[in-house]
Amino acid sequence: MKILKALAVLLLLSVLANAQIRKYSNEFLNIGVGARAMGMSGAQIASVSDVYAGYWNPAGLMYSEANFSAALMHSEYFAGIAKFDYGAIVKPINNNKKRIGFSLIRFGVDDIPNTLFLKEPDGSINYDNVTSFSAANYAFMGSYASNTGVKGLSYGGNLKIIHNRIGTFANSWGMGVDVGMQYRRKQWRLGATIRDLTTTFNVWSFNFTDQEQQVLVSSGNIVPTGSTELTAPQIILGGGHDIKISEKFSVLPELNAVLTTDGKRNVLIPARPFSIDPRFGVEGSYAKMIFLRAGVGNIQRVTSDIDSKQITTMQPNIGIGIRIKTIMIDYAFTNLGYLSNALYSHVFSVRLDVFKK
Nearest in space to 259 (alpha carbons), one of 199, 315, 195, 313: 195
φ and ψ of 20, to 5 deg: -130, 140
- Residue 340's pLDDT band (boundaries 50, 70, 90)? very low
pTM, two decimal places: 0.86
Would you say residue 336 has pLDDT above 80?
A: no
Would you say residue 153 has pLDDT above 90?
A: yes
Q: Which of 98-107, 115-124, 262-271 has the highest mean pLDDT?
A: 98-107
Looking at per-residue confidence, does 116 or 165 come out higher?
A: 165
Would you say residue 320 has pLDDT above 90?
A: yes
Question: What is the rounded CA–CA span in Å between residue 159 and residue 98?
Answer: 16
Q: Which uninterrupted H or E stretch holds 333?
A: strand 327-334
Q: Where are the domains of the chain?
A: 2-354
Would you say residue 338 has pLDDT above 80?
A: no
Question: Do residues 238 and 183 lie in contact, with contact meaning Cβ atoms separated by under 8 Å?
Answer: no
Q: What is the mean pLDDT of the chain?
A: 88
Question: What is the rounded CA–CA span in Å between residue 179 and residue 202?
Answer: 19
**How many residues does the structure list for the chain?**
357
Question: What is the rounded CA–CA span in Å between residue 51 and residue 100?
Answer: 10
Looking at per-residue confidence, does 34 or 4 come out higher?
A: 34
pLDDT of residue 117: 86
φ and ψ of 341, to 5 deg: -100, 20
Q: Mean pLDDT over residues 73-90, rounded? A: 91
Q: Mean pLDDT over residues 174-187, rounded? A: 96
Class of the 2-354 domain? Answer: mainly beta
- Residue 74's pLDDT band (boundaries 50, 70, 90)? very high
Question: Do residues 11 and 3 lie in contact, with contact meaning Cβ atoms separated by under 8 Å?
Answer: no
Q: pLDDT exceeding 90 applies to what percent of the chain?
A: 62
Question: Do residues 238 and 191 lie in contact, with contact meaning Cβ atoms separated by under 8 Å?
Answer: yes
- Residue 343's pLDDT band (boundaries 50, 70, 90)? low
Q: Which residues make Cβ contacts (< 8 Å) with residue 332, sequence separation at least 6?
A: 35, 36, 38, 39, 293, 317, 318, 319, 346, 347
Would you say residue 16 has pLDDT above 50?
A: no
Question: What is the rounded CA–CA span in Å between residue 299 and residue 277?
Answer: 7
pLDDT of residue 19: 60
Question: What is the rounded CA–CA span in Å between residue 298 and residue 29?
Answer: 15
Looking at per-residue confidence, does 17 or 249 come out higher?
A: 249
**DSSP result, 263-331:** S--SSSB--SS-EEEEEEEEEEEETTTEEEEEEEEEEEEEE-TTT--EEEEEEEEEEEEEEETTEEEEE
Question: Which residue type, as a one-letter code, is found at position 129?
Answer: N
Q: Mean pLDDT over residues 296-319, rounded? A: 83
